[in-house]
Amino acid sequence: MISQGPLSQKIFAVAKEFIPGGVNSPVRAFRNVGGEPFFVRRAAGSRIEDIDGKHYIDYIGSWGPNILGHAPVVITNTIHEVAKSGISFGIPNLFEVEMARTICDWVPSVEKVRMCSSGTEATMSAIRLARGFTKRDYIVKFDGCYHCQGVVRVSDKLSIKNMQTPSFSARNELKKIMLYLRSLMN
């Protein structure tokens, strides 16, 4: 088990004053593995250094985006150059068109690309696409899953939520499905 250094302990205590649980994602809490998080100072390649000067090999890679490692020169140089034209626009721009075209060119089965700012936004777009393609109005979402909280839930307290109010018969069918799914979890 990795033990927290004294600076990480101090920063964690401060973080808990301003961030629920002291971390911005439950997977960073370390509680399930009997520890407390360390705080990163910097990273390069596959190596991370915490604020106490301890070094680690990063096997997580920021959950995927750092496939080239931390701070690869080709990426940091490109970011530096492109950022001179603006960081984030929130409106249509040439960079997103170029990126979408590149993705479609590199992956022949991809006809169009929707870019999102969060996993929840991406999941909601996927749900809308699936609902449009299947012509179905409802989806089932289980409590404890990561994105799109509150679309339809199966939990100890039965609650049904949807982007539209379902008809009475549809609500009854959903309740039956949810009760059946709950029985499988016991």
Domains and CATH numbers, the chain: 1-87 (3.90.1150.10), 137-185 (no CATH)
45, β-bridge pairs: 70
Contact (CB, 8 A) for 75 and 83: no
b/e per residue, 17-48, with b = 16+ CB within 10 A?
eeeeebbeeeeeebeeeeebbbbeeebeeeeb
148 in Cβ contact with 120 (< 8 Å): yes
Kindly report, residue by residue over 74-109, the tens digit of the pLDDT.
999 999 998 999 888 888 899 899 999 999 999 999
**CA distance readout (Å), 108 to 103, 122, 155:** 9, 21, 41
pLDDT under 50: residue ranges of the chain: 148-167
The CA–CA distances, whole Å, from 21 to 16, 34, 52, 134 equal 5, 15, 21, 40
Q: Give residue 72's pLDDT.
A: 94
The pLDDT, as a whole number, for residue 152 is 44
Radius of gyration for the alpha carbons in the chain, expressed in angstroms and rounded:
22
The model's pTM is 0.56
Q: What pLDDT sits at residue 119? A: 76
Which token pair is 112? 């169009």
